Every structure is written in C-alpha cells, then in structure tokens.
Amino acid sequence: MALVAAGTKSVELSVPSRSEYVAVVRLVVASLATGTRNLAADRIDDLKLAVSEACTNAIEANRKAGLDAPVIASCWEAPERLEVCIADSGTGFEPSTLSAHPEVSDPERLNFERGLGIPLIRSLVDDLRFESTPQGTKVWMTMFGGPDSGDATTEIVRTVVERD
C-alpha cells in the first residue's frame, strides 16, 4: 500500500510539542470527522484515541531529539475514507521491532505502564502505516466511512481492503 494519502488534503494543524496541545488536535480531528463525514460516534471516539496516542508519541520523539519542532496533524479526505497523519521531527524508530505484550493472564501484564499506545492505535483504526526515518516519523491512520455512507460502508470496505 502506497504511503501517500488517498484523498485531498483538507486540514493541516501545527501545534507545539507540548502535552497541553494534544487536546486541540483531538478536537480538530473529531470535528472534521463529525462535521464533514458521517462517522458513528464510537468510531469518532476511536479516532480521537488513536490521534491522542500518536501525538503523545510525536511529542516524546521531538523531546528526545532535543528539538523544539512542532507536531503536525494533516487530514486527507476521500469519498470513502478519512486519513490523518501525525508527523514529528524525531529520530525515528522501527515499528516492526516493538516487543509484543505479555498475555493478559500473565502476571507480568502489570509491568506494562507504557508500550500500550501503538497496540491501541492498531486496534482502533481501519488502517495504520508508519513512515519513519532518522529525520522524523509520520503515522498514517485511516478510517473508512464517507460523508454520506455512514457506517454501512465502513464494514464493507474494511472487509475488502487487504491489511498487511
């Protein structure tokens, strides 16, 4: 799957790498998904949560890189999907090497106060792609469901699209 977005860019939001601005990013994405799309309320909550996780990681990445760079959220709209990209200027990472979590029954589970973010994003959005280089990371999140389709399409398109 190509790493370029499928739709037309609509909104771009740049905020400082500070935790108090994550709420603004959530707000914008939720308002787009509500106002110009037709996503069900629980899917909008899913998107807000995914965006929040990605922004939290982006702020952390900029901070670790010692950069006063912004976090940039871009939204791309296509008839059947909304794509949100969260970009930072950190030093990047290799998503495939992230260690898996222990099973829920494992007593070790309790040691995981962190490392929950990306697994959460993965289970919340319809498609997730990373574009990570030593110059920065882009996290692309896709939600299916168009302006008119509502959630009927979501399930259909979800089934059709191949996940990798």
Task: Tell me which residues touch a copy of itself (CB under 8 A).
Answer: 10-16, 20-21, 23-24, 27-28, 31-32, 35-36, 70
39 and 33 in contact (C-beta within 8 Å)? yes
Across the strands, what pairs with 133? 136
Whichever of 21 and 140 has its CB closer to a copy of itself, that residue is 21
Residue 143 Cα distances to 6, 17, 127, angstroms: 12, 25, 7
- Give the list of residues 6+ apart from residue 36 with CB closer than 8 angstroms, or none: 10, 77, 147
**Residue 117 CA neighbour count, 13 Å, CB half:** 14
What does the per-residue mask of binding to other proteins show for 28-47, with x meaning CB under 8 A?
Answer: -------x------x--x--
d(CA 135, CA 65): 10
164 binds other proteins (CB under 8 A): no
Q: Considering CB distances under 5 to 8 angstroms, the limit depending on partner class, which of other proteins, a copy of itself, ligand ADP, none binds residue 109? A: other proteins
Q: Considering CB distances under 5 to 8 angstroms, the limit depending on partner class, which of ligand ADP, a copy of itself, other proteins, none binds residue 61? A: ligand ADP
Q: How far is the CB of 34 from ligand ADP (least distance, A)?
A: 25
- The footprint of ligand ADP (CB under 6 A) covers 53, 57-58, 61, 88, 90, 92-93, 98, 114-118, 137
